[in-house]
Each structure stands twice: as C-alpha cells, then as structure tokens.
Amino acid sequence: MTTIKGPGIFLAQFMGENAPFNNLRSICLWAEALGYKAVQIPSWDSRCIDLKKAAESKTYADEIKGIVNECGLEISELSTHLQGQLVAVHPAYDTMFDGFAPENVRGNAKARTDWAIQQVKYGAAASKNLGLAAHPTFSGALLWHTFHPWPQRPAGLVEEGFKELAKRWLPILNYFDECGVDVCYEIHPGEDLFDGITYEMFLKEVNNHPRACLLYDPSHFVLQQLDYIQYIDFYHERIKAFHVKDAEFNPSGKQGTFGGYQGWAERAGRYRSPGDGQVDFKTIFSKLTQYNYSGWAVMEWECCIKHPEDGAREGAAFINNHIIRVTDKAFDDFAATAKNDKLNRNILGLD
C-alpha cells in the first residue's frame, strides 16, 4: 500500500486582485504557511502561469517549478478545467461558455473548439515539462441538455453524442500518451461524463484508452445520490487525481436533486468546506490507500457559507488528519511462527 501525498490545494478559487492572492509566489507562500505541501495550478490564470510558454519552453517550466519549490511546495497537477469544457459545447450553452474563452474566438464555435483543443494539448506538454504525471480537466458536453429524457430522446442520439465526444478527445488522449501524462476527467454535472455509466460509455468509444483516467471528487456524487464509496471499488485503477471537497444533501417536500433553480445556499444539495458536509472521508482515504492511490489529496474549496480563507486553513489540517501512513508490518507479527514446511504439512494432516 501507498501513503497518499498531501495536503495540496487547488488555487483556482483563491486567485484574486489583492495580495497574497494575485501572483504565484505570494499565494504559494500563503499556502505553505497554512500547512499545504503542494498546489494545483489553474492553467487559464495568467497570474499563475503562461500555459503556451510552459508547453514550449522547458526553461520557463523550470522557472515556474522553481518559484513553487522556493516557497516550500510542489506542483501536484496543472489543470485545464475551463479549456476542457470548451472541447465540446452544445449551442444552447454558447453564450454562457464564451466567457471561458479569449475574446478573439467568442461567437465562433469552431474557432473556440480549436482553441480549447490546442490549450489542452499545451496542458499535456506543459505537464511533461513540469515533470507531472496527471492532468485534471473536464470533458465538455454535447448531450447534457438531454440528461432528463423529456421529450423522449430519439433512438441513437446518445450513441452519436459519445461518438463525437470521443472523436474530439481521441487525438488529445494520444498526444497525452506521447507526453506520458494521464488525462484525469473530473466526473461532474454539466459534463457528458457525469457518472460511472457515462464514463464507461466514453471509454468504450475511445477503445479503453489507457490515458483516459479520472479525478475523484465525491462531492458531485453526493448531489447525485451516487454511491461514492463503491465508485472507488469500480474505478480505482483509473483514479489518478483526488479533490477533497465536501457536500451535503438535505431533500425536503419542496426540492431534491434538481434544486428548484435556487442559489447554492438554498439548494437541497450544496457544496461545503471539508468536514462541514456529509462525505465519509475516513472511508474514502482508507479505500484509496488500500488500492495504492499514489497521487495527491488536493483541497478544492467551494462552500456557500464559510469564508474561503477559513476553509483553506481548516482544509490543510483536515487532509493531514485523514492521510493514513501505511504500516510496514502486520499487526499480528508478534505472534508469527517461522516458516517450517514439515510443521505446515503436519498441521494440514499430510504427514
């Protein structure tokens, strides 16, 4: 078994215009002071990294890595969540998702898709230059607007959607393979890969590509009422990244999983800071340790109640308290008997 690495922190929700959150060095010093050992870097935020430059220049990538290391931290992963989202966008979402892209490709779906694909490929090359093995992202979605079958979905619609999604991702996955990096899809509502079944449908279309891996985030499964513990049993071989994010689900006679179009604080299912929700992290850490998960435990802060700085401070200690240092001996070694073939055969009644 392997001891999980951590704690790490995803910087996306903490970047801002004011110090210490406005550049990579200062936010890393802040994170290290809280007890974090690694940062997951949002590649779309220029205050953290120039993704294209990191992909094309090993020297620049080493400089970024050096800044993080000088602050006493490591880089856990480089993320392209926003760019991955734009690899596949249904026209109904064009206007809202245009905000994830630069101005020069907004209003042009093809140009935006091409830009997104190139960005994710930059993520592969940059990860290689940074010495990283896993890369979190989103799959994007062509079918999400049909997730509830009303009106009834036409025959073949789902199959066609996954074929197209795979067509867009297969060249990207092959490029990641060339770079020696795993794509870690965050299974998430709003993506066509939102649960185990949809992930398996995608895997089938990409011929079980070895780089089509997973970022495990139990919070999204609480909101779906999916068994997030058994999920680890099913997919542990593909889990290469891990977000420690909490959630709770409190249905009422007025709303359930769909949330009634309410804001986050008023929804039955809502995200919380680690330790404030319903996720059974003790079992999760035990399961992942048992299955030799060797990556990082990275806190992603999303809470509709608690201040982010309090969530970050508490999150480092929370992860530390859940990481299991694996044992190097069996608990009953004190009662062990030395191997003796003659004795063993005698016990079995063979001599």
Domain ranges for the chain, please list them. 5-347
DSSP structure string for 123-187: HHHHHHHHT--EEEE---BSSGGGSS-SSPPPTTHHHHHHHHHHHHHHHHHHHHHHHT-EEEEE-
In which band, very low, low, confident or very high, does the pLDDT at 288 lie, cut at 50, 70 and 90? very high
Using the predicted structure, report yes or no on whether residue 283 has a pLDDT greater than 80.
yes
**pLDDT of res. 180:** 98
Provide mean pLDDT across the span 106-125: 98
Q: Which pLDDT does position 330 carry in this prediction?
A: 81
Question: Binning pLDDT at 50, 70 and 90, where does residue 287 land?
Answer: very high
What is the spatial distance between Cα 308 and Cα 190, in angstroms, rounded to a whole number? 24
Mean pLDDT across the stretch 253-270? Answer: 97
Section 260-272 average pLDDT: 97
- β-pair partners for 272: 246
| Rounded Cα–Cα distance for residues 231 and 327 (Å) | 25
* CA–CA separation, 246 and 270 (whole Å): 9
pLDDT tens across 131-149, in order?
A: 999 999 999 999 999 999 9
**Are 315 and 38 contacting, i.e. CB atoms less than 8 angstroms apart?**
no
Buried b vs exposed e over 44-59: b needs ≥16 C-beta within 10 Å? beeebbebebbbebee
Question: What CATH architecture applies to the domain 5-347?
Answer: Alpha-Beta Barrel (3.20)
Within 13 Å, how many C-alpha atoms sit on residue 130's CB side? 36
351: confidence class by pLDDT, cuts 50, 70, 90: confident
- The CA-atom distances, in angstroms, between 266 and each of 223, 226, 260, 272 are 14, 21, 9, 13
Which pLDDT tens digit goes with each residue over 30-83? 999 999 999 999 999 999 999 999 999 999 999 999 999 999 999 999 999 999
For residue 8, pLDDT over 80 is answered with yes
For 294-347, write each residue's pLDDT tens digit: 999 999 999 999 999 999 999 999 999 999 999 888 877 777 878 888 888 988
Contact between 67 and 73 under an 8 Å Cβ cutoff? The reply is no
Quick check: helix, strand or coil at residue 269?
A: strand
Max Cα separation, the chain?
A: 83
How confident is the prediction for the chain on average, in pLDDT?
97
pTM of the predicted structure, to 2 decimals: 0.95
